[in-house]
Amino acid sequence: MAKPPERTSMPVVTVEMWTGRTKEQKRALVRAITDAMVTHAGAKPDNLHVIIHEVPKEDWALAGVMGDERKD
């Protein structure tokens, strides 16, 4: 039986987080996500996209309270 052709995949991981992390923190996060996707999802690093969306706290709410007004 012939092996099915390999599909070219382009996994995309999107991270939504508040603004304020340093470039070094984001670099380490992207590396860790890439390593995890390779290890646990069989992704190829050259095809993996990681997108970081940074959102100001005043534009994010939880339980009806804006992020910049939260006390926790």
Length of the chain: 72
E strands, 1-72, are: 12-18, 49-55, 61-62, 65-66
Q: What pLDDT, in 10s, does the model give residues 6-53?
A: 556 789 999 999 999 999 999 999 999 999 999 999 999 999 999 999
Whole-angstrom distance, CA of residue 12 vs CA of residue 37? 10
> Residue 70: its pLDDT value, please?
92
Supply the pLDDT for residue 5.
Answer: 53
Please tell me the distance from the alpha carbon of residue 39 to that of residue 18, in angstroms, as a whole number: 27
pTM for the complete prediction?
0.80
What is the identity of the amino acid at 15? Answer: V
Give catalytic residues, as residue numbers. Answer: 11
- Residues 50-72: tens digit of each pLDDT: 999 999 999 999 999 999 999 88
| Integer Cα distance of 33 and 19 in angstroms | 18
